[in-house]
Amino acid sequence: VKTIGVLTSGGDAPGMNAAIRAVVRTALANGLKVKGIRRGYSGLLDEDIVDMEAQSVSDIIQRGGTILYTARSKEFMTTEGQDKAAEICRKHGIDGLVVIGGDGSFRGAADLAVRGINTVCLPGTIDLDIACTDYTIGFDTAVNTAMEAIDKVRDTSTSHERCSIIEVMGRKAGYIALWCGIANGAEDILVTERYDYDEQKIIDKIIERRKAGKKHYIIVNAEGIGDSNNMAKRIEAATGMEARATIIGHIQRGGSPTCIDRVHASAMGAYGVDLLCKGASNRVVGYRDGNYVDYDIKEALAMKKDIDQYLYDVSKTLSR
Ligand code: F6P
């Protein structure tokens, strides 16, 4: 490869900037040119492409968000859109492309790979819902942000002797909920992967714990569980304990990345460029069992993932 393009796509995640910086600097160190593609595949179709130098990525490793912006593109979903995108890559001399995003972004990279553009994907999502990797860029920052927010809710929940239902992000996945639920010592953790919760059981438990002198009751909900505001109303009506719902929301997607996110994003960015330099294409970079690894995109997308049963069992034992 001679020129590497880099883009971020889908929901942003803290650490994406560290990954962009690593891609740019590793590529330059290998004597390659680098082009930043703004606004994901949508920007590629609009030819929103800028040259990147070492200086273009200085002072960004500590910043949340993505300096390249991000978007979702309907046009790119079509065959015509993909043909056009590959043509635009060729026009700009981009023969290697690093895509930072989630599963949907990986599908786009596979579509470009079959059109002759060498592609490598880095897992960038706070949701941790990418099967081929134990870690995704942004998850660590997001769980730390949510954990701190839940600690704060707990303070006021205790003062007012309330039940607090706190909804965290994760789309259909419950990783953020499970990790925060354990880290925050929640009384209940509801995750989409174990959709077996019985609201009556929660109500009985609240009544019982209250009799035993418990001052607060924290429930961490994965966003896929349903309407947390309505759940708070139902619980208040059934238990007599005041209940409030807090939906933490997009605060979880922002902020300065943690050390873990910066370091893994840097290593994955460098690894991705190394793959392209070796002539690889259609690959996803992952982190598994302590090692950086890579998989064929289709193979990676076919993999299945579930929340860690041991962690889930531990969370149940500890939430008393
Ligand atoms: O995938 C990241 C994520 O933050 C999910 O946790 C959430 O469901 C979704 O994106 C929200 O998307 P949007 O920012 O488009 O509302």
Q: ipTM for the complex?
A: 0.98
C-alpha–C-alpha distance, residues 294 and 133, integer Å: 9
C-alpha–C-alpha distance, residues 293 and 218, integer Å: 38
The protein residue whose alpha carbon is closest to atom 13 in ligand 1 is 11
Cβ contacts of 76 within 8 Å, gap of 6 or more: 41, 42, 44, 45, 82, 85, 108
Q: What pLDDT score was predicted for residue 198?
A: 87
The model scores a pTM over 0.80: yes
Over residues 288-309, the mean pLDDT reads 97
Is the distance from CB of 88 to CB of 95 less than 8 angstroms?
no
How many CB atoms sit inside 10 A of residue 159's CB?
Answer: 10
**Distance of CA 150 from the midpoint of ligand 1 (Å):** 19
Side by side, which strands form the sheet with 243-247? 188-190, 217-222, 163-168, 243-247
Q: What is the dihedral of CA 10, 252, 124, 182, to 10 degrees?
A: -130
The protein residue whose alpha carbon is closest to atom 14 in ligand 1 is 11
**Distance of CA 48 from the midpoint of ligand 1 (Å):** 24
Say if residue 186's pLDDT is above 80: yes
Q: What pLDDT score was predicted for residue 197?
A: 76
Rg (CA), the chain: 22
Cβ contacts of 310 within 8 Å, gap of 6 or more: none
DSSP letter at 239 equals H
Q: What pLDDT score was predicted for residue 268?
A: 99
How many CB atoms sit inside 10 A of residue 290's CB?
Answer: 6
The protein residue whose alpha carbon is closest to atom 2 in ligand 1 is 11
DSSP letter at 234 equals H
C-alpha–C-alpha distance, residues 88 and 133, integer Å: 31
Which residue ranges have their beta carbon within 6 Å of ligand 1?
11, 125-127, 169-171, 223, 253
Query: pLDDT of 48-100, one tens digit each?
Result: 999 999 999 999 999 999 999 999 899 999 999 999 999 999 999 999 999 99
Probe target for ligand 1 pocket from 105, 127, 221, 228, with the most ligand atoms within 8 Å of CB: 127
C-alpha–C-alpha distance, residues 241 and 235, integer Å: 8
C-alpha–C-alpha distance, residues 271 and 267, integer Å: 6
How many CB atoms sit inside 10 A of residue 13's CB?
Answer: 33
Which residue has 């001399």 as its token pair?
A: 93
Over residues 133-139, the mean pLDDT reads 98
| Active-site amino acid positions | 127
Mean pLDDT value across the chain = 97
